[in-house]
């Protein structure tokens, strides 16, 4: 992947790999490469020269999420033939995350004083910047509702639509005072999809870490709980804000077993990793959540849940469905699949969905 631009500011720059419909891709984010007009008007005295004017243009590279094949070539089914752009209208996309259970790509990006966004990326869609900030009809920026009402799809982009975010922080224009600390934006820096059976409260969630200690915000970990299909955010929790002076500006997060790793690059002692340990509290019987045993298993996985399991789906870690069963299930025989780690989605008769990591040994 060559000739990627680098200008003034808002570089984005997250790279992830993901498997969609059995094909392997690289997704790469590039920010608008400009600077907000009211932040430093002297940088571009002629605002027509500001690179952030071109985020809507599919022929420019900035303000886009790009999709490549694993060898750096451009996929044949990208929105515009021969063009690496996958989605457009992004300001400063700092995080990309892949949900292998449902084959979904998420982006988190910085807003301008208002409207930090979480987006569900759909091929060819337009996410608004710099004509729309956050939700088109929330009143956070003058003129964006008219832009949305009068939106004309691009003639060269099949199915083009103006798309609202899944979620937006800081939609109140009254909370964007004269200094950055008075803005209600949280400054999200990365997102990770987790389906970690070791921490059941965080199953099927996006973990987002933030950079900003402001009047309304703390540097913290945000857990955004997803619905059963992964295409809506149904709740948010905040963790570790009380430790922001120790943890500093948070650039990444990782989970391993019962450990939560927060990665810092500024705001306190730089370039360090802080580790938190999840503490298991014994639950009463019958269980309130699913139990799978034994796990690992040589073939038979047994279930104990608050209700009867009626469907199971087993996916490889690249998202391929390798086994599914239906009926009144208390166990499943997976001796016919290869050894290794898999994701198992289970649905009980009450309609509850569980996602578990299993090891077929």
Would the pLDDT of 139 be above 70?
A: yes
Instruction: Please indicate whether residue 94 or residue 257 has the higher confidence score (pLDDT).
Output: 94
Rounded CA separation 175/294 (Å)? 52
The label of the residue with tokens 């910047």 reads 129
pLDDT band, very low/low/confident/very high, at 352 (cuts 50, 70, 90): confident
Q: Are residues 140 and 227 in the same domain?
A: yes
Rounded CA separation 356/314 (Å)? 9
Q: Are residues 223 and 347 in the same domain?
A: no
pLDDT band, very low/low/confident/very high, at 356 (cuts 50, 70, 90): confident
pLDDT at position 196 is 67
Average model confidence (pLDDT) across the chain:
89
pLDDT band, very low/low/confident/very high, at 355 (cuts 50, 70, 90): confident
Tokens of 40: 């430093």
- Look at the chain and count its residues: 361
CATH code of residue 318:
2.60.40
pTM of the model: 0.78
pLDDT at position 200 is 78
7 in a domain, yes or no? no
Alpha-carbon distance values, 285 to 288, 301, 307, 329 (Å): 8, 20, 13, 20
pLDDT at position 43 is 77
CATH code of residue 273:
2.120.10.30
Pick the most confident of 5-14, 54-63, 268-277, 347-356.
Answer: 54-63
pLDDT at position 180 is 84
Give the containing element (helix H, strand E) for 244. Answer: helix 244-247
Tokens of 115: 């409207």
Stretch 245-272: mean pLDDT, rounded?
86
Instruction: Please indicate whether residue 195 or residue 79 has the higher confidence score (pLDDT).
Output: 79
* Contact status, residue 126 vs residue 160, Cβ threshold 8 Å: yes
CA distance between the termini of the chain: 38
pLDDT at position 40 is 66
pLDDT band, very low/low/confident/very high, at 267 (cuts 50, 70, 90): low
pLDDT at position 1 is 62
Rounded CA separation 160/162 (Å)? 7
1 in a domain, yes or no? no
φ and ψ of 190, to 5 deg:
-160, 160
Stretch 86-95: mean pLDDT, rounded?
96
Would the pLDDT of 290 be above 90?
A: no
For the chain, the domain total comes to 2
Would the pLDDT of 244 be above 90?
A: yes
pLDDT at position 265 is 80
Tokens of 63: 């303000």
Would the pLDDT of 7 be above 70?
A: yes
Q: Are residues 251 and 323 in the same domain?
A: no
pLDDT at position 37 is 66
Percent of the chain at pLDDT exceeding 70: 94
- Write the pLDDT tens digit of every residue in 166-203: 999 988 888 777 888 888 899 999 999 998 667 878 88
Q: Are residues 19 and 167 in the same domain?
A: yes
Q: Are residues 235 and 270 in the same domain?
A: yes
5 in a domain, yes or no? no
Q: Identify the domain containing residue 324 by its residue range.
A: 291-360
Q: Are residues 180 and 236 in the same domain?
A: yes
285 in a domain, yes or no? no
6 in a domain, yes or no? no
Q: Are residues 353 and 310 in the same domain?
A: yes
Q: Are residues 116 and 205 in the same domain?
A: yes
Cα of 303 vs its chain's centroid, Å: 30
Rounded CA separation 117/93 (Å)? 9
Instruction: Please indicate whether residue 282 or residue 40 has the higher confidence score (pLDDT).
Output: 40
95-104, 110-119, 171-180, 323-332: which range is least confident on average? 171-180
């Amino acid at each position: 992947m060559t000739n990627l631009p680098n200008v003034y500011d808002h570089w984005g720059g997250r790279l992830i790999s993901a498997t969609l419909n059995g094909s392997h891709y690289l997704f790469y984010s590039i920010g608008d490469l400009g600077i907000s007009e009211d932040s430093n008007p002297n940088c571009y005295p002629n605002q027509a020269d500001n690179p952030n004017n071109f985020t809507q243009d599919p022929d420019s590279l900035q303000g886009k999420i790009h999709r490549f094949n694993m060898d750096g070539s451009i996929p044949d089914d990208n929105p515009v033939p021969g063009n690496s752009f996958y989605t457009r209208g992004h300001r400063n996309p700092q995080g990309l995350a892949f949900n292998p259970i449902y084959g979904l790509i998420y982006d988190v990006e910085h807003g301008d004083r208002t409207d930090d966004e979480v987006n569900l990326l759909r091929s060819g869609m337009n996410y608004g910047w710099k004509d729309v900030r956050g939700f088109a009809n929330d009143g956070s920026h003058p003129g964006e509702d008219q832009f949305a009402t009068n939106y004309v799809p691009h003639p060269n982009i099949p199915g083009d639509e103006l798309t609202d975010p899944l979620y937006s922080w800081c939609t109140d224009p009254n909370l964007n005072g004269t200094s950055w600390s008075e803005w209600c934006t949280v400054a999200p820096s990365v997102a990770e999809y987790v389906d970690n059976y070791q921490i059941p409260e965080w199953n099927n969630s996006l973990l987002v870490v933030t950079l900003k200690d402001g009047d309304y915000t703390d540097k913290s970990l945000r857990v955004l709980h997803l619905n059963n299909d992964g295409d809506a955010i149904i709740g948010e929790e905040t963790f570790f804000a009380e430790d922001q002076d120790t943890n500093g500006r948070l650039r990444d997060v990782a989970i391993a077993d019962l450990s939560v790793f927060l990665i810092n690059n500024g705001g306190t002692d730089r370039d360090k990793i802080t580790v938190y340990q999840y503490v298991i509290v014994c639950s009463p019987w019958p269980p309130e959540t699913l139990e799978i045993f034994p796990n690992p298993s040589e073939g038979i996985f047994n279930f104990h849940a608050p209700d009867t399991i009626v469907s199971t789906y087993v996916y490889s870690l690249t998202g391929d469905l390798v086994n599914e069963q239906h009926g009144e299930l208390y166990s499943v025989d997976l001796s016919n699949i290869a050894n290794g780690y898999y994701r198992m989605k289970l649905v009980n008769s009450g309609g509850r969905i569980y996602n578990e990591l299993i090891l077929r040994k």
